[in-house]
Amino acid sequence: MKWYWVVPFLFLAGCDNAKAEGANNMKVEAARINVELGKPIDNLLGSSPLEFTVDCLDAVNMCWYEIDLAGKKDLIDLSVTQPDSTLELKRVVGVDVVVDGDVTKDVENVVVTLRGLPDNSAHEENKKLVYNLINDLRSAGWKKYYFPSDPRISSSELDKFDWKESVFGMTPLSHPLFDSNHEMSMQQWLAGDGFYDWYLYSGQYIVHVKVQRRNSSTDPSRSGTYLVKVEFKSLENFWRTDFEEKNRPQWKTLFPERITQLLEKRSEVEAKAEAAGVMLDESYQPPRMEQVK
């Protein structure tokens, strides 16, 4: 399972920075919005100082709620709360919430877009910005997440095997390169294809930090333009959509067998890793709902 996302660079978060902050360096006031994960969407709509646009498709009983400040000087200070954590996100320019009315009227799927640095800023500064975000998540109680079929390999073990093509024959969702507990080197940062994916969890929610890089045409090794998004999903939403649509009504019944199969795949890959001298992250504790006995 993977959260796919394709965003044209026309809409990169850094692209509107010059317009928003400008040479006159005007002070920008930020609206404050609180997104309560697991609470009714009406709570968010009623408390937000900014109005969400709403687009509903009755045929599938789904609604999309959006605030888009790209290209404007306005910003949002966003707090994302649940019983187990409170996360503060600054310099937000977009909030998107999807509600599947056949499942719930609560907020369980949120995508946040951050205003990045100006276009063609230094890679080093953008890397720092992203890791500051990851550190904020960790400080708020979000922990590194391993998909159940993925080997529990920390980034500190990367020098023990060739991970560029695969990780012992597989392409893991939670790749050891994107380890929220370790910061990759600048060489590692620039070696990839320009797509970065970190997964963390807290309580009954999972977060996906998604970064896209486009190198500058004039100095590609030193600077680029970055898009940074943060997607929150309930674990139930995350796992329900892992099943084929025809099986989703009974996904909870099928879930234990699904987890068992994925854990068996993990064991196979981890056996190869250990044979190659790689140490496993055996201290990892999965989310409660994945602790199937």
Residue 210 lies in a domain: yes
Predicted local distance difference test score (pLDDT) of residue 27: 57
Low-confidence ranges of the chain (pLDDT < 70): 1-28, 293
Residue 1 lies in a domain: no
Residue 2 lies in a domain: no
Amino acid residing at 149? S
Amino acid residing at 112? V
Residue 88 lies in a domain: yes
The radius of gyration computed from the CA coordinates of the chain, to the nearest angstrom, equals 20
Q: For residue 160, what are the domain limits?
A: 9-290
- Which string of b and e fits 61-73 if b means at least 16 CB within 10 Å? eebebebebbeee
Residue 129 lies in a domain: yes
pTM attached to this predicted model: 0.90
Predicted local distance difference test score (pLDDT) of residue 291: 92
Predicted local distance difference test score (pLDDT) of residue 85: 85
Predicted local distance difference test score (pLDDT) of residue 5: 42
Predicted local distance difference test score (pLDDT) of residue 257: 96
User: β-strand 62-68 against 143-144: which pairing, if any?
Assistant: unpaired
Residue 31 lies in a domain: yes
Domain count across the chain? 1
* Cβ 245 vs Cβ 128: under 8 Å: no
Residue 3 lies in a domain: no
Residue 275 lies in a domain: yes
Distance of alpha carbon 141 from alpha carbon 82, whole angstroms: 11
